[in-house]
Every structure is written in structure tokens, then in C-alpha cells.
Amino acid sequence: MNATPAPQPVPSARIPGREPDRESAPGSVETHCPYCSLQCGMGLRPGGATGLEVTERPAFPVNRGALCGKGRTATELLSSGARLTEPLVRRSPGGPLEPAGWDEALERIATELTRVRAAYGPDAQGVFGGGGLTNEKAYLLGKFARLVLGTSQIDYNGRFCMSSAAAAGIRAFGLDRGLPLPMADIAGSGCVILVGGNPAETMPPALRYFTELRENGGRLIVVDPRRTRTAELADLHLAPRPGTDLALALGLLHLVVAEGRTDERYIAERTTGWAGARAAAMAHWPELVERITGVPVPQLREAVGHFCDAESAMVLTARGPEQQAKGTDTVGAWINLTLATGRAGRPRSGYGCLTGQGNGQGGREHGQKADQLPGYRLLTDPAARAHVAGVWGVDPDVLPGPGRSAYELLDALGRDVRSLLVLASNPVVSAPRAAHVEERLRALDFLAVCDVVLSETAALADVVLPVTQWAEESGTLTNLEGRVLLRRRAVDPPPGVRSDLWVLGALAARLGWEKGFPDDPEEVFEELRRASAGGPADYSGITYGRIAREDGVFWPCPASADGTGADGTGTDGTEVDGTGAGTRHPGTPRLFLDRFATPDGRARFAPVTHRPSAEEPDAEYPVLLTTGRVLAQYQSGAQTRRVAELNAAAPGPFVQLHPRLAERHGIAEGDPVAVTSRRGRAVAPARVTRDIRPDTVFMPFHWPGAGRANTLTNPALDPTSRMPEFKVSAVRVERAGAESAG
């Protein structure tokens, strides 16, 4: 591949939005990090070794200037030698990927998709998106799938992320927005129970909210089978067996009831379904919960004491309890705890999920999810279909119905689904039972991937299209708080690459759709505003200009009913009140303070009971495997494994295990450990530490090859969210080379 020329700064006249803040470094374009859902504000200006340097943006409220190592080094991605700069095409089956012109590459995709559609029908064309895509891209991808391809078979990697929390949130509150309040409210709460989240490694700048919480006298309780850097900061660390969070939450609720600490007035006024939930909790007495979870009864009592004594209190979940085959019920049980104690919909209180990917929130709102239309509308709702079809200028009947969930879609490749278009995901590394998924990808008639680097998934493709990335394009993202942000373009892309939006438009044109697929992000956003209007995630009152002036706008934010534009301007573009404010909707930083988003305004308890994981340890596979992240790598590692500083900090996979387990198998620090599950075998060096339960091993999932954690993971799905059980597999561990037969 050719070396990429150093990025050239864009003249400021081409940068939409306001001038940089006074507090930001002079000459910097204000934008956001390419990685996680915190979407830290940062500045970019010419300079440094890569031609573009990252500067602080202290005025942006979420991270207040702080960045983790990934954000600090992000410009290396732009000029990395690993960058794709021209399309690649595999001209013969089994042949190599070879450089090609855009015409050849696009024509090949159009021809193959047309052939698949003619031979097998529209639903044989699959589409797989990602929560890293901007709102504009996610929206246009959904529109492309439903209109141009006419397929129902679209889903995205967010299914592997926060889908259980989303499902539980909708069930309880009638709405899914990760956090119902700004991150800053965490610092003012009286008690926070953080369940299965490790922000010290996954969102370092957010850690300050948890340390401020403690400085303000609040309590932090962390629930994690490992003593993580986050758990070290806690007043109380509960270390349950992986997969038992549901029992733990029910046990805490049992104690709340037994100790008479429910908020009966709140339950009567603001909730429904308490009797069923209460009965389920009463069946989980403390000693039983101690047996299931391994958390001692006195610790359960202490947690309940902290949670109920505090004037305000919240439960936050992350991937630990969510990535389970019972993730939806598990989150439901934690929500029950916040409802029974009168916390949800109260200041600095309630339930929230720490969403993960850069646009994990917006990516699940605008139509790349199998069952969804823009504005968080449902494909099965006739009114929603009529509204969106109206915006798209088509008959509602042409819109397909809901399709398969992410793993089910990957599992169907080469069978019902014969072609796949992938944007912004690397399932060869990140999907459960990855060896099987890889085999399914190879069984496709045709695979096309848009990416910035040759990911492990792109390497299997018939056509790879090189696309622009964060600092080379503008677009909106919705962070974990529900704050819609504008990531602004700061440099020109390398010659030869095109944006995802451009690619979708060019493919649409070749497939007969000349109109409706603009490549200007703001133009797409204007259409998204109309498509989302009146939906649960209403963006109609949000504009690029407003986002830039206000440090983001929280949805829902409907356009004003009085004809005033979203920007505080009249329909002719003139300002209404001279301040730019007009009578516009202010956005919604805090949800549910007056009512929940259910038809009767009340939150719904979930009558859930504990059940075992899809796979429990047995004689053959006696150990529990759980998986997750390390500080310096991001997701499948496709991006961060290509940044020298990050790779030096976290060069490869490992198996974290307790000295007692290590000793039993004659494993010493650094020894190669073979981990075997019913899906396969992985090998990585041992990291022996007392910071993990003796019955559990942990592997990060950032690497392909022999140490790929997802070779081992269980694709058992949650019945509601269709989330795979990434956090619980039964395995056997041995010193590699000394394995027993069988």
C-alpha cells in the first residue's frame, strides 16, 4: 500500500459552526475523539509529528480538556501507513485483493448485488453497520438497505454492546436513552452502584465524576468479578461470579423490602407491577443469593445500607451484567431496585447505562437496527412506517419488515443471506464464536467492506472501499448522555478515499436511485431531523449551528410548534428574538422528572427471577471465562493496534487468573495458557493476580489469531435483546503444551 501523505489542514472558511472557544488552543478546530461514547471534546491544529496535533478543549463540559491515551494519539490514525487509500478488488475466487479504480470497485458491487437479488430475492442481501458511524451514516445506511436493496436483513454491532440495557429501559421507562441525566450529575449523587463497568480503563476522563462523588461524601459501590482499577476506588467492591448479577440485584431488593426501606408512596404514584416484582425478590433470600453469587451477606447488607441511606442514589450498568443471555432481565432487576427505593426520575438519581461506542446511542436510533426506523421508531408500527415513507417519498408498503439480529444474521451468511455489505465493524475479531462467523463470511457469494484499514474482516472481502474518517469529515454523534454533538472536519482526506455517505450515494445511483442519497452530512442531517420528528428520539429541533453554539443538544428536542425554526430563526431565516433563542425547545438533559415515557406515565417493574447462565461450569469445563477491555486498545483493535504508543502499552492478549487456579495447573506468570471451550481453543500468556476470583479467568478481546477471546465465547442469545453471552463461558485452562487429551 502507498504511504499516506501528511494530512493537510482545511482552511477555516470551510469549517461549519462557530469560531473556536477562547479557551481552546489558538488555531484549533473544535471536534471530538474518534473512539468511545464519552466523545471527549478536543481541538486539532496543524503541527506535531503527524502534521496535525491534538489540543485541549477545556470548555467542553463532558471531559473538560482531559483525554485518554487513545484520544491523545488519535491523529496517528490519519497518516498511518496501514491506511487504505485506494479500492481493492478480488478479481478471481481465492485470488489476491488488488488495487482498483473506484469505477471498477463500485460496478463490481452493483453487479454482484443485482445478481444476488435476482437469484435469491432482496432478503439475500445483508447489511452490517456499526455504532461508530455518525448519525448521518447510520441513517443513510438504513435507508439504503430498505429502499435501494429492499432488504430486511440489516443489523449492527450495537447489538453486541448495550442492547440488553436498551431493551430493559424501554420495558421499564418506555424509552431508551443510555443516561437519563448528564454525567456531571453523578458527582452530586449520594450513592452510585456501578455494575460491571470499568471506566478507569474504558472512559478514563469520566473517572473524575466518580472521584468527585466520593469527595462530596457520596458512596461508590462497584460490582465486578475482578478487582479492577475502578473497583479500587470504591467504598465497597462486590465480586460476584460472572453471570449472577440478576440474583445479586434480587437479593438487594429482598433486603430493601425486609428492612422496610421501600418508598411506598413513590411506588403507588409512579410505578406499576410492584406486586409481581416484590414476590420474585422475596424468593431470593440473602443466604441463597450468597450461595449463587459468592457475595457474603454482610456485604449485601452494607450495599443496601449505603443505597437507602443516601438522599439521592443511582445504579449504572455497563457490559458486565448486560452481555449475558439474560441481560435484559438482569438490567430489569437493577431497575427494580431503583424503582422500589423511589430513585428513578428524581434528581441525581435513577438508572443509567454507560453506552460504549462513539455513536453507540445515536447509532441505535436512526434505522440501522433490524427492527427500527429513524427517530427510534418501530418498523412494525404502521404510523411510523407512514411517517418515514412520507419523508422518503415512497409508499409505506415498499418498506420491508424487521430482519434478523446481528449474530443471527452472521450465522445465516452463505445460507439465506448470500451477500454482505459491512460498514464500521470487524466481526472476525469481535463476534461471538468467531471461528464460525469467519467460516460463514467465507461462505458468502459476495462480501464488500468499507473501512479505513484492512481489518481482519476486510481481508476476507471481495471488494474493499477506503473511506474517510473522523477528522476528515463532519457529522453528528450522540454521546452516552444523549447529547447530540458535532464532530467537525479538520483536515482534507488523502486523495483516493471517499466518505461512507458518498459511497452509499454512488452505489444507490448505480442501483437506480439517482436521488435521496446526498453526500453532504448537513443535508443528510436535515432529512434525519424530519424523519425523526415526532418519534421517541426526536432531533427535529437540533441543527448543526445550534450544536456548535451550545456544546451539544440533548434529545428529545422537537422543533417548536409555532413555526419557529430549530435555530431560533423564523422560517425565512431571520432571527425571531434577536438572541437566536426564539421559542425553541431547550433539549432534554434530564428525563422522567415528571413522568416516564410509558402510556400511563408510570414506570413498569419487571417480574424477573434468577436463572443460570446458558453454560455453567461442569467437570469437563470447570472454569468461568469472562471477557472485556484494556485501557490502550479499542474494540477489535483494527485502529489502535496500528498506533505505536498504544501497541507498546498493550501489545497482545493475555489470560488473567488467580494464583490458586494457576498453581493447580502448574501455570506461572507469562506461561502460555490454553483456554478451551465448546467452541474452540485460544492460547495467551498468563497474568497471575489476586485481582480476580479463583473460579474465573479474564481475557481481553482486542486481538485476532491464536489469542482471540471470541474463539471461545458463547453465542447463546438473550431472548429479548438478542445479545450474546460474551461475559460467561465455561472453559478448561491448562498450561499450553501440557494439555490433557480430549
C-beta atoms surrounding 536 within 10 Å: 19
C-alpha dihedral over 659, 664, 666, 671, to 10 degrees? -50
- Give, as ranges, the residues between 634 and 673 that touch ligand MGD (CB under 6 A): 634-636, 638-639
Closer CB to ligand SF4, 38 or 181, in the complex = 38
Q: What is the DSSP string of 410-426?
A: HHTBTTTB-EEEEES--
The reply on whether position 388 binds ligand SF4 by CB under 6 A is no
Is the Cα dihedral 249, 250, 253, 255 positive or negative?
Answer: negative
Say which entry of Mo ion, ligand MGD, ligand SF4, none residue 40 contacts (CB below 5 to 8 A, set by partner kind): ligand SF4
678-717 binders of ligand MGD (CB under 6 A): 698, 701, 709-710, 713
Query: At 570, which amino acid appears?
Result: G
Between β-strands 603-604 and 729-735, what pairing exists: parallel, antiparallel or unpaired?
unpaired
Amino acid sitting at position 179 = L
CA distance 137 to 143: 10
The entry of ligand SF4, Mo ion, ligand MGD, none that residue 709 binds, CB within 5 to 8 Å by partner kind: ligand MGD
Q: Which is nearer to ligand SF4, 66 or 448 (CB)?
A: 66
| CA gap 506, 513 in Å, rounded | 9
Cβ pair 604, 171 in contact under 8 A = yes
Cβ of residue 4: shortest distance to ligand MGD, in angstroms? 14
For the bound state, the minimum distance from the C-beta of residue 318 to ligand SF4, rounded and expressed in Å, comes to: 13
Nearer to ligand MGD (CB atom), residue 316 or residue 384: 316
Between 359 and 540, CB nearer to Mo ion: 359
Per-position DSSP letters for 87-135, written without gaps between them = -EEE-STT--EEE--HHHHHHHHHHHHHHHHHHH-GGGEEEEE-TTS-H
Quick one: 62 or 310, whose CB is closer to Mo ion? 62
Contact string 62-91 vs ligand SF4 (x = CB under 6 A): -x---xx-xx--------------------
Residue holding cell 487468573?
Answer: 657
* Contact assessment for residue 487 and residue 30, using Cβ atoms and an 8 Å cutoff: no
Interface region with ligand SF4, contact rule CB under 6 A, candidates 130-138, 202-210, 440-448, 558-566: 202-210
Q: How far is the CB of 334 from ligand MGD (least distance, A)?
A: 10
- Alpha-carbon distance of 363 to 484, in angstroms, equals 12
Residue 33 binds which of Mo ion, ligand SF4, ligand MGD, none (CB < 5-8 A, kind-dependent):
ligand SF4
Question: Grid coordinates 461508530 are at which residue?
Answer: 132
Instruction: Measure CA of the first residue to CA of the last residue in the chain; give whole Å.
Output: 44
How is the chain split among helix, strand and coil, in percent rounded to 5?
35, 20, 50
CB atoms under 10 Å from CB of 616, counted, come to 12
**Residue 159 vs 254, nearer CB to Mo ion:** 159
Helices (H), 217-296: 245-258, 264-270, 274-282, 286-293
Point out which residues pair with 730 in neighbouring strands: 624
Q: Select the span of 34-42, 132-140, 183-191, 436-444 touching ligand SF4 (CB under 6 A).
A: 34-42
Q: How far apart are CA 416 and CA 120, in angstroms?
A: 8
Closer by beta carbon to ligand MGD, 122 or else 199? 199
205 binds, among ligand MGD, ligand SF4, Mo ion, none (CB under 5 to 8 A by kind): ligand SF4
Record the cell numbers describing residue 366, joined without a space: 436512526
- Give the binding-site size for ligand SF4 (rule: CB under 6 A): 14
The 322-351 contact track toward ligand MGD, x by CB under 6 A, reads -x----------------------------
Question: Under the rule (CB under 5 A), what is the footprint of Mo ion?
Answer: 161, 356-357
Residue 35 interacts with ligand SF4 (CB under 6 A): yes or no? yes
Single out the residue of 638, 155, 84 nearest to residue 420, CA to CA. 155
Contact 65, 35 (CB under 8 A): no
Side chain identity at 33, as an amino acid letter?
C
626 binds, among ligand MGD, Mo ion, ligand SF4, none (CB under 5 to 8 A by kind): ligand MGD
Q: How far apart are CA 146 and CA 39, in angstroms?
A: 29
**Least separation, in Å, of the C-beta of 165 and Mo ion?**
11
Cα–Cα distance, 82 to 78 (Å, whole number): 10
Minimum distance between the CB of residue 634 and ligand SF4, rounded to whole angstroms? 7
- Note whether 36 binds ligand SF4 by CB under 6 A: yes
Torsion of CA 239, 244, 245, 249, to 10 degrees: -100
Q: Does 319 bind ligand MGD (CB under 6 A)?
A: yes
DSSP output for 511-541: TT--SS--S-HHHHHHHHHHHHTTSSS--TT
If the CB atoms of residues 40 and 384 are measured against ligand MGD, the closer one turns out to be: 40
Cell of 28: 484549533
DSSP 147: I
Which partner from the list ligand MGD, Mo ion, ligand SF4, none does 284 bind, CB cut-off 5 to 8 Å by kind?
A: none
By a kind-dependent CB cut-off of 5 to 8 A, residue 320 interacts, out of Mo ion, ligand SF4, ligand MGD, none, with ligand MGD
**Cα–Cα distance measured from residue 709 to residue 732, given in angstroms and rounded to the nearest whole number:** 14
Cβ of residue 52: shortest distance to ligand SF4, in angstroms? 16
Q: Which residue's CB is nearer to ligand SF4, number 279 or number 644? A: 644
Q: Residue 342 binds what, of Mo ion, ligand SF4, ligand MGD, none (CB under 5 to 8 Å, by partner type)?
A: none
- Smallest gap from Cβ 403 to ligand MGD, in A, equals 18
Nearer to ligand SF4, 409 or 484 (CB): 484
**CB nearer to ligand SF4: pick between 37 and 455:** 37
- Tell which one of 24, 31, 39, 468 touches ligand SF4 (CB under 6 A): 39
* C-beta separation of 205 from 66 below 8 A: yes
**Cβ at position 319, least distance to ligand MGD in Å:** 3
When CB distances are held under 5 to 8 angstroms depending on the partner's kind, the choice from ligand SF4, Mo ion, ligand MGD, none that residue 225 binds is ligand MGD
The least distance separating ligand MGD from the CB of residue 591, rounded to whole angstroms, comes to 21
| Identity of the residue, 158 or 556, whose beta carbon is nearer to ligand MGD in the bound complex | 158
Residue 671 contacts residue 735 (beta carbons within 8 Å): yes
> Which of 100, 90, 96, 125 lies closest to 110 in space, CA to CA?
125
User: What's CA 527's distance to the chain center, in Å?
Assistant: 24
Residues in contact with ligand MGD, shown as a per-residue x/- string from 714 to 733 under the rule CB under 6 A: ------------xx------
- Is residue 226 close enough to count as binding ligand MGD by CB under 6 A? yes
Q: What are phi and psi of 280, to 5 degrees?
A: -65, -40
Which C-beta is closer to ligand SF4: that of 35 or that of 698?
35
When the beta carbons of 39 and 55 are compared against ligand SF4, the nearer one is: 39
Among 43, 190, 218, 242, binds ligand MGD (CB under 6 A): 242
If the CB atoms of residues 175 and 203 are measured against ligand SF4, the closer one turns out to be: 203
Question: Which residues lie near ligand MGD (CB under 6 A)?
Answer: 36, 130-133, 157, 160-161, 195-199, 201-203, 223-226, 228, 242-243, 245, 318-321, 323, 356-357, 423-426, 429-430, 450-453, 455, 467, 469, 500, 626-629, 631, 633-636, 638-639, 698, 701, 709-710, 713, 726-727
Question: Which residues lie near ligand SF4 (CB under 6 A)?
Answer: 33, 35-36, 38-40, 63, 67-68, 70-71, 203-205
